[in-house]
Structure 1
Amino acid sequence: MEETTSTHSKTGQSTITSVDKFTYNQVGALSQATNQINGGATEVIAQNIYNDIGQLIEKSIGGKTNQNRLQDINYIYNVRGWLTDINNPDNKGSDLFAMRLYYDRDTHSTNATPLYNGNISQVMWSTKNTNSSKFYYFYHYDHLNRITKAQFAGGGWWDRYSLKKVEYDKNGNITKLERKGWTNSAATSFGTMDNLVYTYSGSGIGNQLIKVQDNSNINFGFKDVNQTTDYTYDSNGNMTRDYNKAINTNMTYNHLNLPTYIPINGGSISYYYDAAGVKQKKVVSGGATTEYAGSFIYKNGSLEHLNHPEGYLEPDGNSFRYIYQYRDQINNLRLAYSDLDGNSVIDHSSEILIEKNYYPFGLEHMGYNSTINGVVNNYKQYQGQEFIEDLELNIHEWKFRISDPTLGRFWSVDPLAEDYRFQSPYNFSENRVIDGFELEGLEYVTVHHIMNGGTHITTLPATEYYKMTDSEINEKNGTPAGNYNAASYGPEGKGVKHVYHNRDGSYTGPYEDGTVRWDNRRINFQTAAGNHGLYSGAGSITNYRGGQDYNFDFQPIDWSDAIAKRHDEDYETARANADGPGASYIDDVNTYQADLDMIERLNTFTSGGKVEGIETPYRKTSSREMELSLKGQKIVISALAAYKKWKIDNNYGNDTSFETLGQKFYKDDFLNALIISIIYSSNE
């Protein structure tokens, strides 16, 4: 996609026209994004630079096209591809934010847990805000990588914002949590803020939280009203009352277990959703009405802000002001800034709008660098989620559930709880909260194949669903979300993990009993092009390893996979109906129309239209991985179509191959020839 134009109209408001333009480098990675509102000056949202293996190493942010960029963000990685630095905390220069991640080191002898699996042992950060000191968290974990302690230091303060202790039961429910923090409303006194003891249903062995006792007797952080029973639930496992938050009568939920009515502190908050569960409106009694229209957010009928990839815009008289945000390794908002005077230089003393720092599980620090310059925007904060502080509710709203950062738990059951019986359905990110995103479910699929020796007998239905973090994917030598994962949802390719069960116990070989087949790792454009863009079911047209016949029984993972599956089905039909010799999927001119049809479906889907003739996928929502997959599919299939059209126009048939025609095609269409050559060499 190179350009999109969006026109937004609302009764009583001026029409807004937003033009976004995108340019890509030679391997299809985004190199620049710009935005223009209502025909005004064009703003450069981001300019990206990548290294030779596709890692983003520099991002230049903000400013008009005739101005300097406002911030240059540099990224450094270790030899395993793990992020180690966002800018340089030892020498910030004009950088407003800098962070360093340590995986296997304890630089201050705090007994932080050294790790070698991608989890983070220590973090250091610094900003150009009022207090520009270096701050640290030193993390401690148990053998399941669950957080047990986070030691804070920096600014001459030791322990001030520490998570001193976290203990769990056998299901991963938190049983004890001790947190240091502020002990007065001005956040000028500090000590033990929370000393929590959790009590659960079923005489303490269930998963539903019944009561939390705060032995600190401090009502900052968690607020304890000392009820005998603090929490109640409905028959679906949704929390209905929280007496500690003054939710003293029942909340109500819809059929998707999303809250529709929260009575709190003598008032109420009402939510309205569309049929897919996307929030459309929030109404606070005696307060504001917020309407959500995609990227456009309205408060009390007036536009509050409009999102862009690196932050948001807010109305500024008859024009708009661009706000930009620094985010950390798990997408937490850390600092927002804006060129308020328009001179293309950020003055850290007046143009930093807000800074956010968090405990594990998402509770915000108070007492330093907390001055807000301008209008508060809570829309995308901890892990990119909206923070709701209306009527002192103080929760994070996720797509499927709500979490309480003071407790480190969700209000409702995981939608995939049946597939994760080894842990509590209320756990937050499996208590691995430093390097792991809360994935919100529905990520991967396991498929079981029955073999007889090396012969494929049958494939069982895909019924097992599971989740993996980027770190876990890397640990298995897979490909996490990124520039080159264009078809992957992990090391299995398009979300499919193939497990083989051999009926002949004496057989040893590629498909002996218990074998798990991981897809090829995608670490650059060559490995990506050779393994993406096509349906991943058994016998797909790029699957030479399994040797099975076509099998289109598996339900697609998402819309990208559904479009690819239809493409493979069209390939098979074209080959079956063709006269004359066949050829590889790269050279077969009989499949040219199938490529054109896939490109049309991709264009229709990415422009918001309804795509006809494809199977409804398992996951109907969008994701970062799906967006990358769609982009990669378009690059590769467009190159295939261009090559086949060139063959047809020049009267070349299936008896000629790219191996012999490549040099001629290079002369006529260098870029597409380069892509085809990479695909061709990776499939030899």
Structure 2
Amino acid sequence: MKKIIIPIGMLVTAHSAQAQLSQSENYVYSKTYLDYNKLGQPTKVSETVQYMDGLGRLKQIVNVKASPNGKDVVTHIEYDSFGRQTKDYLPVPQPGTLNGGIVPLSLANATQPDIYGQEKIYSEKTLENSPLNRILEQKQAGNDWSNKPVKFGYGAVTVPDRVRKFTTITSWDAGATKSVLEENWLYTDGQLYKNSVKDEDGNETIEFKNGQGQLILARKVINIDEYADTYYVYNEFNQLAFVIPPLASIRGDIVPNLLKQDELCYQYHYDGRNRLVEKKLPGKGWEYMVYDKQDRLVASQDTVLKGKGQWLYTKYDQFGRVAITGISTGGLRSVEQTQADLQNSNNVGRIGTVLFNRQGIDVYYDNPENTYPKSPTWVTLLSLNYYDTLPGYSFNPTISDVLGEQILTANPIDGRSTKGLPVFSLVKNIEDDNWTKNYTYYDTKGRIIGTYSINHLGGYTKTESKLDFAGVPQTVVTRHKRLNTDTERVITETFTYDHQNRLLVHKHQIDNNPEEILAQNKYNELSQLENKKVGGISIGLPLQSIDYKYNIRGWMTQINDPVNLSGKLFGYKIKYTDPIYSDIASGRYNGNIAEIDWNVSTVNNLKRYNYIYDKLNRLADAEYAEPSATNPHNKNFDERLTYDLNGNIASLKRNAIPVSGTTSTTVDNLVYQYTGNRLDKVIENALNDTGYEGGNNIIDYDLNGNMTNMKDKGIQDIVYNYLNLPNTFMITQSDPFGLGQTSNVSLTYLYSADGIKLRKNYYKQGRRGSSATTHTTDYLDGFQYNYFEGGGICLTCRTETAFEEQAYGNIGKTFPGIDLTPQWKLDFVPTAEGFYSFTENRYIYQYRDHLGNARVSFAKNSEGVLEVTDTNNYYPFGLNHIQGMFEGANLGSYYSYKYNGKELQETGMYDYGARFYMPDLGRWGVADPLAEKMTRFSPYNYAFNNPIRFIDPDGRASADWIKMIDPQTNQTTLTYDPNVQTINQALDAGYQNVYEVGATGEISDGNGNTTHTLNANGSVSDMSGSTLNGSFDIDGISVNAASGKFDLTKYLSHLGNEGGDYYSNLGGLGLGSGYNPFFRGDIDKIVDVEGYFGGMVNSLSRGRDWKDIMAYRVDITALADLAVSTFGGKSKDDTIVNVQFRVGYKYDPNLGYVTSRDTAVSMQVPKMPNTNKRYDYLGNSDIRKKVDSIDRKVK
């Protein structure tokens, strides 16, 4: 993707023919070419004009012809009398286009009913009257938020705040710090900064920080004098040593009580190089890390592996790329660190011959004895990664092009090759020695256009993509075989886009079957998906037409109309601020949902949930109603919860219509008992056979905090692999068909070493007089296969032992002509709108709600008539409604992908990828692998206990923030979208190059220091506590927050003006040999180890910058190119070494302005041609004489 930014002076002659720019205005015009035709002429472009006032401030941004109807989309920018931007306007589609000209009265069209109507279209900030310009209040766009501001407070700690003063006493033990927690009563007046944020619903968060900017306490206010406090404790070396979550901080004995520290606190130990080497998370054993001399993590170990005397290891090549991973034997961490320190470069190198073979695979890397760990300690290889060139394996496929597009090879073509790119990886199965082999193919622009994966059974999946100029896929072809001897299945997908690359039509074809139209998308002028037609083979005859609506904040509010379905199969309405039953649940303004209505055509009975939250935004009560019923508030499916301070569920009450009854009653009255965050026992007080299978049995855990049994459900044993994924379930339960007999079931799973589930095997021991049952499922690149030893289709395999039987039902489906011979059968493959059933030879479409839950599945039957094949209604935490004797809307299905789109297992748990989730208990059975990102919460809580708003995409974190990385430019973009919680949802919504989706996040500088926090409400906070909204750039990352506009580049442009010390412009600075104020003379050092040298670089020689930028209270980081060219008498124009590093400007709240930050730089001097000697530094060891040029540029 090319972006051309033309200097202002050239605009008149260069673009007057293409764009009618306003020549009386200052502007910057940019054009991004999206596609070309066969003649090389551009057919799609994205044009933006930024108009500035006489002071160089942005006043209008025109996105030329950017709306779906080809109209201009304009963002108005204005300033108050002090030159501050206090209002952030939403972009306004115009009634036409001026081809790039400045738009007069750009806000006039906003009042159109199909744009914003009478809504307030800007957010506004109230700033304090001081040079700091700190935000006091912020009101979001929309009339509903006019009187619902976010309020900010600034001050200092006082004794009545009762902030405990934790300290540590740190000693040295086995090469690592060992900190002992101490307490020195309370912080006194003025010892800490105190910043507070109170959201639109009055929920308050207070942060206390010390003079170094370190967070000491994050306090959530529950009531007067009642808080959920999370403390952060630093050792004498300013390293984070303890995190004390709320359930621990409330204890007066947490300092002397080492047992409670282990159960509840996060603990960290470091080595002498400031590297984290030991850590302990709540409820888990200690984890250990080993590094090499290049500070790369080369080994890690948890407590379970330690008991086996094993380590997970990683080997790197000379460029720091992961080459080999595996498991080795080893001793204590200090012993392993000593072994790693004995290796110098510790790099493996690529070779053209096979040096060794492990687990049945040849390895084309050297140095098994000169890198850590050495080969005698190896237990097993887990993965191999190859870069630059393909190794000489006999099974390598022969591929010369992808859909006619030339691919890059190791042999340069016009200077381009696969050098520097990953080309091939092998991943071993954990439970056996079979391998999955993955190849990657690139076009001549370095973009991925093809993959070829040989699965562990010998079959393959090959994908081929036809990309346009901008890298957007036009055609994707997938070829697949389970075994290499099977018949190849071919899936062809085609995509049609509008002039701004919004997806319009998505078509799908299986083999030579008729082409199916999965989706036809229509967008409103704000580029929001307005209507989607799904299904059918004719553009004009879709199976369903789905309408979407949004509020002023961009939050989805409706899928069809649940009150009047009008031929639609499903309707869904989300109410945030205006619930109908406001006496039950008041309106919510902070993003929480107050009320949801839904309806399904099979019963046409409007249903409603109202949601009540506590002060920590946790769901406290979900009240069910049927507004059109005689008794609307029947409470048939209520769910009510309480929590402890860490968010562990303390009690849960659930209503349902019991199996043997006709009237709703409390079927679950659960009380949870804990040790720390671990659930020890569930006490069931309802004494009802329906609902949770309560048996008051003790739950056991392994040393990694994994639940090892659940005897309430008959699960006698759960065995985990080294990824903490369940490998085996052993289940014993009463046999409903054998009086007095028990049923013994085993579930075993097969995973690859990267955690991908490959196979599930279900085995049920036969009762007396009957044979055993075996049912096996293969998961291969999205294609799902089934084998039933009885032959045909096992419709009952999912329900015989399902602990959530209400999720399934007998819908009377028959499959004539099915071969009853036991054999592997291809079951289905997912599509963007549901899945394709090979068993039924038809497309199954799904209505999904805002969380990705499958609500209604539908398809054409054999007579071409639309039919509903599955409906699902859920309690808030994901359990299917218990319908009892009433069919309700829960017809059931043998397809198991339901809540959040995850697969429901026979155990009643959902497989999320990283963990299994228990919807009947509302928690996980395994600690969160990313628990350190959310230290206020229990490692076992689900979706922050707010499952109506959040999901856990893979069992590790809840989501709202979308991270995208452009494969061409490596540009990272972070976008907040409250309607997106999964990668699939992001892709369905039109986002491209999606890397991950998360609820919160951080932006760090080049030193790993956090500069900004991505908040769950869509805003961004800097380290001073100020909140940023809208779109802005920071640290080379483009951020699109909830609303507003912030342009960092504009402020950076002031660098080099008065007060800018030695900078004359942003473009670069040439320095003569022997004079370089860029390096701080009192810090820089020379280090000569194998040709490396380094020092401390300072971003500004005098430590201050222009005061116009100081006032914006942001930490700024820029990239700098540092070229070394004075070695060996070389001329200054001949660069020998060029390294890119980051320099930073840190906002200091004490000083009130931006200060410079030191950055460590190290480079290796290359060897002279045809010698083994390095350039001689000109006989000079002064690092300041080695740097001739510095080019600093904002990315």
TM-score normalised by L of structure 1: 0.65
Alignment pair present for 1:48 and 2:521:
yes
Alignment pair present for 1:352 and 2:862:
no
**Structure showing greater relative contact order (alpha-carbon pairs closer than 8 Å, 6 or more residues apart):** 1
Give deviations 1:232-277, integer Å, cap 9, x for gaps. 10000000010101112x3111111100001112211001111110
Cross-structure match for 2:704: 236
In the alignment, the residues of structure 2 paired with residue 485 and residue 45 of structure 1 have an alpha-carbon distance, to the nearest angstrom, of 19
Q: For the Cα contact (< 8 Å) 2:639–2:875, is it kept in 1? A: no
User: Which of residues 900, 903, 912 is equivalent to 1:398?
Assistant: 912
Cross-structure match for 2:465: none
User: Which of residues 709, 715, 723 is equivalent to 1:247?
Assistant: 715
Q: In the comparison of the two structures, how many residue pairs are matched? A: 498
Which residue identity does 1:377 align to in structure 2? Y
Which residue identity does 1:334 align to in structure 2? R
User: Which of residues 586, 610, 618 is equivalent to 1:146?
Assistant: 618
- Quickly say closer, same or farther: Cα 1:219–1:2, change in 2 above 3 A: same
Cross-structure match for 1:257: 724
Cross-structure match for 2:887: 368
User: Which of residues 79, 86, 93 is equivalent to 2:552?
Assistant: 79
Cross-structure match for 2:445: none
Q: For the Cα contact (< 8 Å) 1:159–1:180, is it kept in 2? A: no
User: Which of residues 475, 479, 485 is equivalent to 1:3?
Assistant: 475
- Quickly say closer, same or farther: Cα 1:240–1:169, change in 2 above 3 A: same
Which residue identity does 1:384 align to in structure 2? G
- Quickly say closer, same or farther: Cα 1:217–1:38, change in 2 above 3 A: same
Alignment pair present for 1:192 and 2:709:
no
Structure number with higher helix proportion: 1
Cross-structure match for 2:759: 281
Gaps (5+ residues) in structure 2? 1-472, 733-743, 764-772, 788-823, 962-973, 1013-1020, 1041-1046, 1056-1065, 1069-1095, 1097-1117, 1126-1132, 1134-1193
Cross-structure match for 2:832: 309
Gaps (5+ residues) in structure 1? 447-466, 503-510, 535-540, 554-567, 582-682
Give deviations 1:479-515, integer Å, cap 9, x for gaps. 999546878979999962678889xxxxxxxx99726
Cross-structure match for 2:692: 222
In the alignment, the residues of structure 2 paired with residue 512 and residue 18 of structure 1 have an alpha-carbon distance, to the nearest angstrom, of 47
Which residue identity does 1:369 align to in structure 2? G
Give deviations 1:456-490, integer Å, cap 9, x for gaps. xxxxxxxxxxx99844999xxxx999546878979
Cross-structure match for 1:427: 941
Cross-structure match for 1:99: 572
Give deviations 1:149-199, integer Å, cap 9, x for gaps. 1110116353443334211111111111111012226x7443111001110
Q: For the Cα contact (< 8 Å) 1:97–1:127, is it kept in 2? A: yes
Query: Deviation at 1:65?
Result: 3.1
Q: Secondary structure at the match of 1:239?
A: coil
Q: For the Cα contact (< 8 Å) 1:31–1:47, is it kept in 2? A: yes
Cross-structure match for 1:31: 504
In the alignment, the residues of structure 2 paired with residue 150 and residue 443 of structure 1 have an alpha-carbon distance, to the nearest angstrom, of 20
Which residue identity does 1:359 align to in structure 2? Y
Query: Deviation at 1:111?
Result: 2.0
User: Which of residues 486, 506, 514 is equivalent to 2:1024?
Assistant: 514
- Quickly say closer, same or farther: Cα 1:497–1:84, change in 2 above 3 A: farther
In the alignment, the residues of structure 2 paired with residue 183 and residue 438 of structure 1 have an alpha-carbon distance, to the nearest angstrom, of 30
In the alignment, the residues of structure 2 paired with residue 178 and residue 402 of structure 1 have an alpha-carbon distance, to the nearest angstrom, of 22
In the alignment, the residues of structure 2 paired with residue 377 and residue 149 of structure 1 have an alpha-carbon distance, to the nearest angstrom, of 30
Q: Secondary structure at the match of 2:944?
A: helix
Query: Deviation at 1:3?
Result: 0.6
Which residue identity does 1:426 align to in structure 2? Y
Query: Deviation at 1:360?
Result: 0.9
Alignment pair present for 1:211 and 2:681:
yes
In the alignment, the residues of structure 2 paired with residue 573 and residue 71 of structure 1 have an alpha-carbon distance, to the nearest angstrom, of 59
- Quickly say closer, same or farther: Cα 1:482–1:68, change in 2 above 3 A: closer
Instruction: Compare CA radii of gyration and give the structure with the larger one.
Output: 2
Q: Secondary structure at the match of 1:313?
A: strand
- Quickly say closer, same or farther: Cα 1:50–1:218, change in 2 above 3 A: same
- Quickly say closer, same or farther: Cα 1:533–1:182, change in 2 above 3 A: closer
- Quickly say closer, same or farther: Cα 1:22–1:327, change in 2 above 3 A: same
Q: For the Cα contact (< 8 Å) 2:826–2:839, is it kept in 1? A: no
Cross-structure match for 1:584: none
Q: For the Cα contact (< 8 Å) 1:443–1:495, is it kept in 2? A: no
Query: Deviation at 1:87?
Result: 0.5
In the alignment, the residues of structure 1 paired with residue 1121 and residue 521 of structure 2 have an alpha-carbon distance, to the nearest angstrom, of 39
Q: For the Cα contact (< 8 Å) 1:480–1:490, is it kept in 2? A: no
Alignment pair present for 1:269 and 2:714:
no
Query: Deviation at 1:207?
Result: 0.4
Q: For the Cα contact (< 8 Å) 2:748–2:762, is it kept in 1? A: yes
Which residue identity does 2:713 align to in structure 1? K
Alignment pair present for 1:123 and 2:596:
yes
Q: Secondary structure at the match of 1:430?
A: helix
- Quickly say closer, same or farther: Cα 1:516–1:39, change in 2 above 3 A: farther
Q: Secondary structure at the match of 2:948?
A: coil
Q: For the Cα contact (< 8 Å) 1:63–1:70, is it kept in 2? A: yes
Query: Deviation at 1:397?
Result: 0.8
Q: For the Cα contact (< 8 Å) 1:7–1:16, is it kept in 2? A: yes
Give deviations 1:94-120, integer Å, cap 9, x for gaps. 110001111122313542132101211
Q: For the Cα contact (< 8 Å) 2:851–2:951, is it kept in 1? A: yes
- Quickly say closer, same or farther: Cα 1:469–1:55, change in 2 above 3 A: closer
Which residue identity does 2:914 align to in structure 1? F
Q: Secondary structure at the match of 1:52?
A: coil
Q: For the Cα contact (< 8 Å) 2:902–2:911, is it kept in 1? A: yes
Q: For the Cα contact (< 8 Å) 1:486–1:533, is it kept in 2? A: no
- Quickly say closer, same or farther: Cα 1:368–1:491, change in 2 above 3 A: closer
Give deviations 1:384-406, integer Å, cap 9, x for gaps. 11111x2xx11111111111111
Q: For the Cα contact (< 8 Å) 2:957–2:998, is it kept in 1? A: no
Q: Which moves more between the two structures, 432-441 or 143-152?
A: 432-441
In the alignment, the residues of structure 2 paired with residue 288 and residue 295 of structure 1 have an alpha-carbon distance, to the nearest angstrom, of 19
Q: For the Cα contact (< 8 Å) 2:1002–2:1011, is it kept in 1? A: no
Query: Deviation at 1:338?
Result: 0.3
Q: Secondary structure at the match of 2:545?
A: strand
Query: Deviation at 1:82?
Result: 1.1
Alignment pair present for 1:340 and 2:812:
no
- Quickly say closer, same or farther: Cα 1:75–1:572, change in 2 above 3 A: farther
Q: For the Cα contact (< 8 Å) 2:647–2:941, is it kept in 1? A: yes
Q: Secondary structure at the match of 1:232?
A: coil
User: Which of residues 393, 400, 410 is equivalent to 2:924?
Assistant: 410
Q: Secondary structure at the match of 2:774?
A: coil
- Quickly say closer, same or farther: Cα 1:400–1:516, change in 2 above 3 A: farther
Identical aligned residues as a percent: 30
Cross-structure match for 1:111: 584
Cross-structure match for 1:134: 606
Which residue identity does 1:339 align to in structure 2? K
Q: For the Cα contact (< 8 Å) 1:139–1:150, is it kept in 2? A: yes
Which residue identity does 1:224 align to in structure 2? G
In the alignment, the residues of structure 1 paired with residue 1023 and residue 888 of structure 2 have an alpha-carbon distance, to the nearest angstrom, of 58
- Quickly say closer, same or farther: Cα 1:487–1:128, change in 2 above 3 A: closer
Q: For the Cα contact (< 8 Å) 1:296–1:306, is it kept in 2? A: yes
Q: For the Cα contact (< 8 Å) 1:232–1:241, is it kept in 2? A: yes
Q: For the Cα contact (< 8 Å) 1:223–1:245, is it kept in 2? A: yes
Query: Deviation at 1:544?
Result: 5.8
- Quickly say closer, same or farther: Cα 1:513–1:21, change in 2 above 3 A: closer
Q: For the Cα contact (< 8 Å) 1:151–1:164, is it kept in 2? A: yes
In the alignment, the residues of structure 1 paired with residue 682 and residue 992 of structure 2 have an alpha-carbon distance, to the nearest angstrom, of 43
Q: For the Cα contact (< 8 Å) 2:1022–2:1028, is it kept in 1? A: no
Alignment pair present for 1:329 and 2:834:
no
